[in-house]
Amino acid sequence: MKDLGPLHYFLGIQVTKTPSGLFISQSKQPTVLRSSAEAEYRVMATTTTELTWISFLLRDIGIFQPRPATLFCDNVSALHMTVNPVFHARSKHIEIDYHFVKEKDDLGFITTKFVPSSQ
């Protein structure tokens, strides 16, 4: 092994050695999601499960919905995944169980609509 000299930086951590000891300083590391579409799609999946639960609850007490619930989303990519959940480089890491949003949309249980963020 080769000695690379004194340690100054390691994984974004600044290390300074003085006679009184070691001083370690770290700046905040940014956290980045893989995509905002993935985050929005996961929220849509969670909301769909809650809509399903509420629908069954209302039906059990005798209240029937005449039309499907509308699920609004401000991310066009997430809406496209509900229409066509094909696996490609950007969506292959999304678990298959989240694709039941499309199933509920196909069954007519929910409808998905785009709403701009500015509204």
DSSP state letters, 28-61: PPP---S-HHHHHHHHHHHHHHHHHHHHHHHHHT
6-15, 88-97, 103-112 — most confident range: 103-112
Of 69, 87, 82, nearest to 43 (Cα)?
82
89 — pLDDT class (breaks 50, 70, 90): low
Q: Provide the pairing of β-strand 21-26 with 69-73.
A: unpaired
Please report, for the chain, the start and end positions of each structural domain, with discontinuous segments joined by +. 36-114
The pLDDT value given to residue 29: 55
Beta bridge partners of 110: 69
Half-sphere exposure of 71 (CA within 13 A, CB side): 27
Question: Strand pairing partners for 71?
Answer: 112
Share of the chain above pLDDT 70, in %: 66
Q: Please say if the pLDDT value at position 33 is more than 60.
A: no
Using an 8 Å Cβ cutoff, are 44 and 99 in contact?
Answer: no
Which band of pLDDT confidence, cut at 50, 70 and 90, is reported for residue 40? confident
Return d(Cα 61, Cα 50) in angstroms, integer: 17
